[in-house]
Amino acid sequence: MLELDDIHVSYGQLPAVRGVSLTVGEGEILAVIGANGAGKSTLLKAVAGQLPLSSGAIRFDGVDVAKLPAFRRARAGIVMVPEGRRLFKSLTVEENLQIALSTKRSGPWDLERVYEALPIVAERRGRLAGDLSGGEAQATAIARALVANPKLLLLDEVSLGLAPVVVGQIYAVIPSILAQGTSVLLVEQDVQQATKAARDVHCLLQGRTSLSGRDLALDDISRAYFGA
């Protein structure tokens, strides 16, 4: 469903992603791992439309989306949970979710369904998003993305800054997301968490693919992660 074909992304003069290709099928989950600065988040931002490609193609359901601005990609079903949550601090939790209705997409995830899947968000629906703790904010950010009814959900470092227990709670939601037919592309620094959530792993090192495959051995992954 998602196909990245030899994409290159640069920050100005600095090349951050240098020729990465990968695919994610319908209802599948792929974890992109790598050290800090390996280019993982850059990759995700390029898929979401926040960064332009210097070359290569991004195909979503066979259609090249590289020319589409971010908001149109969201309406097409590519929804990202950005790094650092990026909640609208002056809006309430519920209002944050309602913003995602702008994608105007139909699907299984309406407000009630999302509240069922993430009770921690339901309990705080009237609170200002700026007053939430890290875990509550992360759950809210995911809830917001779900309200958009994504076909492809992009998760950017959702475990960052959260206690392990909370991270576990966040990741517990993923199976139900996959069950609805949504694909997930997640970026994670925590290798253990990534391999627990996804059998397919794609490892980046300095912007290039160092290893990819299914059910990989931890030793192989470590080597690919740090570069040996």
Cβ proximity to other proteins: between 100 and 170 the closer is: 100
Give bridge partners of residue 100 from the DSSP assignment.
none
Q: Counting beta carbons within 10 angstroms of the beta carbon of residue 15, is it exposed (0 to 12), middle (13 to 18) or buried (19 or more)? A: middle
Q: Which is nearer to other proteins, 75 or 223 (CB)?
A: 75
CB 226 within 8 A of CB 220: no
Nearer to other proteins, 41 or 96 (CB): 96
Helices and strands in the chain: count of H runs, count of E runs: 10, 10
CB of 86 to other proteins, least distance (A): 4
Per-residue contact string for residues 104-133; x = within reach of other proteins by CB under 8 A: xx----------------------------
Name which of 16 and 224 has its Cβ closer to other proteins. Answer: 16
Q: The tokens of 82 are what? A: 């950005």
Find the shortest distance in angstroms from Cβ 12 to other proteins.
16
Binding mask 53-82 for other proteins (x = CB under 8 A): ----------------xxx--xx---xx-x
| DSSP bridge partners of 92 | 128
141-160: contacts with other proteins (CB under 8 A): 144, 148
Q: Which residue from 4, 29, 48, 186 is in contact with other proteins, where contact means CB under 8 A?
A: 48
Interacting residues with other proteins between 80 and 109 (CB under 8 A): 80, 82, 86, 88-91, 95-96, 98-105
- Identify whether the C-beta of residue 99 lies closer than 8 Å to the C-beta of residue 135: no
Which residue lies nearer to other proteins by CB, 91 or 122?
Answer: 91
| Dihedrals phi, psi of 3, to nearest 5 degrees | -130, 120
Q: Least distance (Å) from other proteins to the CB of residue 202?
A: 22
Number of residues that bind other proteins (CB under 8 A): 28
What is the C-alpha separation between 196 and 192, in angstroms, rounded?
Answer: 6
Binds other proteins (CB under 8 A): choice among 50, 54, 176, 189: 50
The residue assigned the tokens 């959702």 is 158
List the structure tokens of 164.
């392990």
> DSSP for 188-228?
ES-HHHHHHH-SEEEEEETTEEEEEEES--HHHHHHHHH--
Enter the tokens of residue 176: 């139900």
Cα angle vertex 203, ends 197, 206, to 5°? 140
**Sites of contact with other proteins (CB under 8 A):** 48-50, 69-71, 74-75, 79-80, 82, 86, 88-91, 95-96, 98-105, 144, 148
